[in-house]
Amino acid sequence: MSSAETFDLNDWLSRLDLGAVPDLDDKVKECEFFFDSLSSETDRNKFRWLVSAFLNAAYSFFESTALTSYFRYTDPESGEPYEDQEGLAVLRRHVKVTQNPNKPKFVNTEGLTLITKQLYEFRKKSTHHFPLSIMATGSALPEDFHFGSMRGEGVPVMPLCSEALAVIRTVYAEINN
């Protein structure tokens, strides 16, 4: 090995900032943070922004968990990564998980159950089409905030986000415990 190719492990370790590396449960904590914040927010715009952040964090949880599941383990002989079949099975009860054969490091998820389908649909609309429409259907805010703009046709935000967070916590616990 030439001197230009020499890898100095001690130098690398001395430069590594372990505090910058997020904990495994970081995405769960991110979802909890946004859910806790929106649980007490009564201003419609601030609530809408927090819901958007929650939807993106939840989507990111499923995407990053799927990617991690594809590369969780390493074969000690070849050094090649291999799938966490049990983790993928847990995920696949809630989301469809696909890996692009031409780009193996690209994993895609989409909603599979009613709650994850709704989560993905609201996230897709707010990310790719237009800002979220949030209605105040009563005075008990934030519980009376609904997705949508047509009275009588909205979807209550807090129950959907609460159920999505419960799924996220369950998936995380089943995969990591």
Give the tokens for residue 145. 């905030």
Q: Check residues 176 and 164 and name the one with the higher pLDDT.
A: 164
Rounded to 10 deg, the angle between the 44-70 and 26-38 helix axes is 160
Tell me what the mean pLDDT of segment 42-62 comes to.
Answer: 97
Q: Is the pLDDT of residue 38 over 90?
A: yes
Query: What is the Cα–Cα distance from 125 to 121, expressed in whole angstroms?
Result: 6
pLDDT of residue 128: 86
Of all residues in the chain, the percent with pLDDT exceeding 90 is 69
Query: What is the Cα–Cα distance from 54 to 99, expressed in whole angstroms?
Result: 25
Give the tokens for residue 16. 């590594």
Contacts of 125 (CB under 8 A, 6+ apart): 132
Query: What is the Cα–Cα distance from 61 to 117, expressed in whole angstroms?
Result: 15
pLDDT of residue 104: 80
Closest CA to 98 of 67, 56, 127, 58: 67
pLDDT of residue 15: 85
Q: Is the pLDDT of residue 63 over 70?
A: yes
* Cα 168-65-158 angle, rounded to 5 deg: 25
Neighbours of 42 (CB within 10 A): 13
Q: Is the pLDDT of residue 82 over 90?
A: no
Residue 172 near residue 130 (C-beta atoms within 8 A): no
Report the range out of 24-33, 127-136, 157-166 with the highest average pLDDT.
157-166
pLDDT of residue 98: 93
pTM: 0.86
Rounded to 10 deg, the angle between the 157-176 and 114-128 helix axes is 110
Closest CA to 168 of 125, 109, 128, 126: 109
Domain-wise residue ranges, the chain: 26-124+159-176
Inter-CA distances, 89 with 6, 9, 94, 175, 176, Å: 41, 37, 9, 9, 13
Residue 150 near residue 141 (C-beta atoms within 8 A): no
- Average per-residue pLDDT in the chain? 91
Q: Check residues 9 and 60 and name the one with the higher pLDDT.
A: 60
Give the tokens for residue 86. 């049990």
